A and B are shown apart, each in its own frame.
Chain A
Amino acid sequence: MKKYRRSLFSVKNPYDTQSDTVFISAVRENFCYHYTHCQEYRTIAEHFNVDANSFHSIDDIARLPCLPTLLFKRHRLKSAQTLIRATSSGTSGNYSEIGFDIGGLLCALKMSCKIMRKRQLFSLIPCHYIVMGYKPHRSNHTAVTKTAFGATLFAPAISRKYILNYKNGTYTPDFDGILSTLKNLSNAIFPIRFMGFPSYTFFLMKMMEEQGIHIPLKKGSKIMLGGGWKQFYAEQANKATFYNLAEKVFGIKDYDIVEFFGAVEHPILYCDCPNHHFHVPAYSRVIIRDIDTLKPVPEGTVGLVNLITPMICATPILSVMTDDLGILHSGSQCGCGIQTPYLEIIGRVAPTDIKTCAAGAADMLKRGETNDSI
């Protein structure tokens, strides 16, 4: 059972370019599982005239029913009992809840190990972690919290300091607390590893620069970034600005800054290469789709980002469409040596990135705080 999935996630080189055959076999296997275990998925597949016989070559993955992340935000779809569940952050109020089966989790573990090793993130040298994200709490099921914690296992942890702590039913950022910890650690003999939201990390560095605080990090220190820029999407720091600031404030070179990209609806670990590009791992495929017709477009064209992986059986997330706009580039354009194509995210579909005044009013209505308005 799920032998092709096992084979796919056993592919040694996480950026193997010869994995098409096993990938399409695993896709067919995963499709059949959801088709027989999830009534909703079956209905959609039938609507698009797709069945187990529809997948022969890698190009056929474009025929997979493509489920928008919005569908998972509005409805709870499942194909099997779940071992654990994870949710998206729900910055706009809605969130996806995705269940994971044990087989899928083992695949995720294998994948993560290979990708981390490739990027040389494992170390036996203990370190202090500064987590620029949420401190785990029983009420917090977000994937971003789980993965940030997971990243603190790459090297033995001496300590973990979180910027977002749960108090009185809410998370609040504690920049001063982080700064004070950093000052205390400035003479520590072990390296420091940051993990978390790029926005918080960027603002921390800006704050330090403004206050003239420079703390050179020990050899082996890293800045790991994940969870996306969230509601600060349009405020993304230019990457070069970010790297320059990191070098100025922490004395850290851009090779030691690592960014992750992922979504709870597509739990594949995208880790940037030394040239800071997100190459598509062997366990995933990306199709960029036309913004009007949803037909696949050639490399180099902007479109909606469709992500495919046969990793999970518990939830039908075999092929999902995000609300990101992106471009797929040929791997050879990068120059880092990895040959799989790389994905560039250029923004989000409108109007989710434009907070309209009318939408803001609705937020207040939902909370029953109408008196707050002027």
Chain B
Amino acid sequence: MILYKGKLFDSTEQERILSEMEPYINNTLVKKSLSVETVIAAIDALGKEIASGKQDALLATLLSDNAMQYKLLAATMLSRENLEWKLQTELGGTTSSNGSSVIHSQRMPLGVLFHIAAGNIDGLPAFSIAEGLLTGNINILKLPQADNGLSLEIISRLIALEPVLTDYIMVFDTPSTDIHAMQRMAELADGISVWGGESAVKAVRSLAPTGAKLIEWGHKLGFCYIAEAENLNHITTELFALAEHIATTKQLLCSSCQTIFLNTQNEIDLHKFCKIFLPILENAVLKNRSRTIGERAYLTLMRHTELLEQRIYGKHNATNEYRGENCRLTVCQDSELELSPMMCNVLVKRLPREQIVPVLRRKKGLLQTAGLICTPENRNIYTELFARCGVTRITSAGNMSAYFLGETHDGEYALRRYTKIVDIETE
């Protein structure tokens, strides 16, 4: 489906719509302007609708897992309080001049933003649009292939609440392989915001017109670090929180824990840890069991495959693996940060403190979140160390994927990237 001029059209109308978009956008740029207050009021009203339960039926239909959690998060992120805080934090003072010149700098929208959105969080594309609107941009959104229809529903509702936004939002379900359509959308844009892997980013670079600002949000990895490996019995609360984080995110987010590092040289410590952590993780996984057919089928298939592998290839891996129902801990010999098999299959590795910098620096472009479990007196030291390695988010283990007002994404403020500074001479 395509959302254009506030109405839904069949995908077969894409060509016609693309051919008339340039004059339509130009007309909006000439004749209209979007006030921040209008945008905040509309998004806040949408957030309140979601919070009041008016959209519960929709959320329950489209999100079989964690619908309530999603509702809470959406209501928080879309609230006026959050939006105003976000604007203040990310854009701050928008003008600069020391008074000696008649020319001053002013932050302005990029103009037209083309969003190539990610599909790993339901409704995320809609939030990307909200950020584009907050900065006063006209937004063209290409939905991710995994989108379940939630984004379009949310955006349509937003337009219904504030029809002024109609001219500032266009949504397409164009597949990313439809290079011609993508190129035409890109040609209309001043900035292209792309979420995705290496191939997606490369493809966008190739189709972006010269001079268009590329705003890339790449793939990242998260990990947990346990600084006092010899005192596992004193960190039970943190381990429960870590298990809950793994079970709820299923390790699918950039901020999810893929590898658990222990500050030790001794492999025995890793085995001790697994014995303590496995029942905690198993319990959290059971509590957060998936209800979607695809995920359940995936887990069944993985279990079946692993059962056969175990039968065929004997026990060579068994001593390194701790299996629970629908989860697994694997003790590894190396110290590299790497992606786990996900879906509650966690890698456990040694990483002595003195090795942190050389090991993590090897992955500096991919680091995002470190969940730190340590004593309060050591927290600052480790936080500083991880930040120097390139980690952009350092939290407690349970908050690795937690949202907070004014948070950055991969160390950057989105709103800043969606704007430009214009130098203007005034009388």
Interface 0/1 of B205-232, CB less than 8 Å to A: 0000000000011111110000000000
Find the B residue at minimum CB distance from A364: B198
Q: Is A292 a contact partner of B308 (Cβ separation < 8 A)?
A: no
**Contact of A357 with B219 in the complex, beta carbons under 8 Å:** yes
Judge if B305 is at the interface, Cβ distance under 8 Å.
Answer: yes
A-B contact count (CB 8 A): 186
Question: When the two chains form their complex, are residues A235 and B410 in contact, meaning their CB atoms are under 8 A apart?
Answer: no
Which of chain A's residues have a CB closer than 8 A to the CB of B195?
Answer: 357
- Interface size class of chain B, counting residues whose CB lies under 8 Å from the partner chain: 35 or more
Q: How far is the CA of A199 from the CA of B178 in the complex (A)?
A: 9
Q: Is A371 at the interface (CB under 8 A from chain B)?
A: yes
| Cross-chain contact A294 with B198 (CB below 8 angstroms) | no
Report whether B15 and A209 are in contact in the complex, using a CB–CB cutoff of 8 Å.
yes
A residues in contact with B201, CB < 8 Å: 372
- CB-CB under 8 A for A350 and B295, given A47-B311, A234-B146, A358-B251: yes
For B180, the chain A residues whose CB sits under 8 A away are: 206-207, 210
Q: Roughly how many angstroms separate A176 CA and B11 CA in the complex, as a whole number?
A: 23
Q: Report the stretch among A28-36, A64-72, A217-225, A332-340 that lies at the interface.
A: A64-72
Q: How far is the CA of A354 from the CA of B180 in the complex (A)?
A: 24
A207, A358, A364, most chain B CB atoms within 10 A: A358
- Does A71 contact B254, Cβ atoms closer than 8 Å? no
A52 within 8 A of B: no
- Tell me whether A323 is interfacial, beta carbon within 8 Å: yes
A200-211: contact bitstring with B at CB < 8 Å (1 yes, 0 no)? 000100110110
B177 and A373 form a contact (CB under 8 A): no
Q: Are A358 and B256 in contact (CB under 8 A)?
A: yes
Chain A residues whose CB sits within 8 angstroms of the CB of B250 once the complex forms: 351
Interface stretch (choices B108-116, B265-273, B337-345)? B337-345
Interface flag for B30 (CB, 8 Å): no
Cβ of A355 within 8 Å of any chain B Cβ, yes or no, is: yes
CB distance from B11 to the nearest CB of A (A): 7
Binds A, one of B55-63, B78-86, B315-323, B359-367: B359-367
B279 sits at the interface (CB 8 A): no
Task: Scan B116-133; emit 1 where CB is below 8 A from any A CB, else 0.
Answer: 001110000000000000
CB of A12 within 8 Å of the partner chain: no
Contact A374 B218 (CB under 8 A): yes
User: Which one of B91-99, B154-162, B296-304 contacts A?
Assistant: B296-304
A241 at the B interface (CB under 8 A): yes
Question: Most B CB atoms within 10 A — which of A206, A209, A369, A374?
Answer: A374
Taking CB atoms and an 8 Å cut-off, the chain B residues in 154-208 that contact chain A are 175-181, 195-198, 201
- A349: B residues at CB distance < 8 A: 294-295, 297-298, 301
Q: A358-B222, A360-B198, A363-B198 are in contact. Are A325 and B311 (CB under 8 A)?
A: no
- Whether A374 contacts B217 by the Cβ 8 Å rule is yes
Expressed in whole angstroms, the Cα–Cα distance for A291 and B295 within the complex equals 9
- A97–B362 Cα gap in the complex (Å)? 33
Tell me whether chain A's interface is mostly helix, strand or loop, or mixed.
helix
Which of A235, A302, A347, A363 is the one whose CB lies under 8 Å from B177? A235
Chain A contacts with B in 53-101, Cβ cutoff 8 A? 65-68, 70-71, 74-75
Q: Is the CB of A351 within 8 A of B342?
A: yes
**Bound: A44/B306 CA distance, A:** 12
Kindly provide the distance from the CB of B422 to the nearest chain A CB, expressed in whole angstroms. Answer: 25
Interface assignment of B293: CB less than 8 Å from any CB of chain A? yes
Cα-based distance from A44 to B120 in the complex (angstroms): 36
A354 to B122, CA, bound (A): 11
Q: Could you say which of B176, B216, B301 contacts A304, with CB atoms under 8 Å apart?
A: B301
Give the distance to chain B from A65, nearest Cβ to Cβ, in Å: 8
A372 with B198: in contact, given A291-B300, A356-B120 (CB under 8 Å)?
yes
Find out whether the CB atom of A355 lies under 8 angstroms from the CB atom of B301: no
Contact A370 B366 (CB under 8 A): yes
Best-surrounded residue of B11, B180, B300 (most CB of chain A within 10 A):
B300
Tell me the minimal C-beta distance from B315 to chain A in angstroms: 13
Q: List, in ascending order, chain A residues with CB within 8 A of B338's CB.
A: 362, 365
Write the chain A residue with the least CB distance to B251: A358
A199-B196 in contact given A44-B308, A70-B305, A360-B219 (Cβ < 8 Å): no
Given A67-B308, A199-B177, A358-B251, is A370 in contact with B365 using a C-beta cutoff of 8 Å? Answer: yes
Interface assignment of A348: CB less than 8 Å from any CB of chain B: yes
Say yes or no for A122: interface residue by CB 8 A criterion.
no
Q: Is the CB of A206 within 8 A of B339?
A: no
The one of B175, B304, B410 that contacts A374, using a Cβ cutoff of 8 Å: B410
- Complex interface bits, B1-44 against A, C-beta within 8 A gives 1, otherwise 0: 00000000001100100000000000000000000000000000
- State whether the Cβ of A40 lies closer than 8 Å to any Cβ in chain B: yes
Report the minimum CB–CB distance from B408 to chain A (whole Å): 13
The answer on a CB contact under 8 Å between A355 and B339 is no
Inter-subunit contact B221/A68 (CB<8 Å): no
Q: Does A330 contact B (CB under 8 A)?
A: no
> Given A44-B311, A372-B365, A373-B366, are A357 and B220 also a contact pair (CB < 8 Å)?
yes
A232 proximal to B (CB < 8 A): yes
Contact of A294 among B118, B179, B304 (CB under 8 A): B304
Instruction: Check A71 against B216 for contact (C-beta < 8 Å).
Output: no
The residue from A40, A68, A234, A370 contacting B145, defined by CB atoms under 8 A apart:
A234
Complex Cα–Cα for A354 and B343 (A): 13
CB-CB under 8 A for A364 and B295, given A47-B311, A372-B198: no
Residues from chain B with a CB closer than 8 A to the CB of A299 are none
Are A325 and B294 in contact, with the CB atoms below 8 A?
Answer: yes
Q: Which residues of B contact A370 (CB under 8 A)?
A: 362-366
Q: Is B312 an interface residue (CB 8 A)?
A: yes
Assess the B366–A210 pair: CB atoms within 8 A: no
**A135 → B minimal CB distance (Å):** 19
Most buried by B among A75, A291, A356: A356
19 residue pairs A–B, Cβ–Cβ below 8 Å = A44-B311, A47-B311, A206-B15, A232-B175, A233-B145, A291-B297, A349-B301, A350-B298, A351-B342, A353-B146, A357-B120, A359-B342, A361-B220, A363-B219, A365-B366, A367-B198, A370-B365, A372-B198, A373-B366
Apart from A354-B119, A357-B252: 17 A-B pairs, beta carbons within 8 A? A74-B309, A203-B175, A206-B181, A210-B180, A232-B175, A291-B293, A291-B296, A291-B300, A325-B294, A355-B119, A356-B120, A357-B220, A362-B221, A369-B198, A370-B364, A370-B365, A373-B219
A interface residue numbers (CB < 8 A to B): 40, 43-44, 47, 65-68, 70-71, 74-75, 199, 203, 206-207, 209-210, 232-235, 241, 244-245, 291-294, 302-304, 321, 323, 325, 347-365, 367, 369-374
Closest 5 CB pairs of A and B: A360-B197, A360-B219, A362-B339, A350-B294, A235-B175
